[in-house]
Amino acid sequence: MATLRAIRRRINSISNIRQVTDAMRMVAAAKLRRAQENIEAAKPYADRLAVLVHHLASRVGGELHPLMTVRPVQMVCLIPITSDRGLCGSFNFNVIRKAISMIDEYEGQGAGVGLICVGKRGADYFRNRGYGVIDEYINIFRRLNVDYAVDVARQIYALYMWGHIDKVEIIYNDFKSAILQETIVEQILPVIPEEPRTRFRFSDYEYEPDQREILNEILPKYLMTLIWKAMLDSNAAEQAARMTAMENATDNADELIKKLTLQRNRIRQANITREITEIVGTAEALEE
Q: What residues act catalytically?
A: 88
Helix (H) or strand (E) holding 135: strand 133-137
Amino acid 124 reads D
* Closest residue by Cα to residue 228 from 155, 151, 167: 151
Q: How many CA atoms lie within 13 A of 254 on its CB side?
A: 8
Q: What is the layout of strands, in order, in the sheet containing 75-80?
A: 133-137, 112-118, 75-80, 167-177, 180-189
User: Which residue(s) pair with 175 in the sheet?
Assistant: 181
**258 burial via Cβ count (<10 Å: 0-12, 13-18, 19+):** exposed
Contact criterion met (CB below 8 Å) for 191 and 68: yes
* CB neighbour burial string for 111-150, b if at least 16 within 10 angstroms, e if fewer: bebbbbbbbbbbbbbbeeeebebbbbbeebbeebeeebbb
* Closest residue by Cα to residue 241 from 94, 42, 55, 78: 94
Distances (CA, A) of 51 to 82, 185, 196: 27, 19, 6
What's the CA gap between 245 and 239, in Å, rounded?
10
Biggest distance spanned by C-alpha atoms of the chain: 118
Angle at 185 between CA 31 and CA 238, to 5 degrees: 15
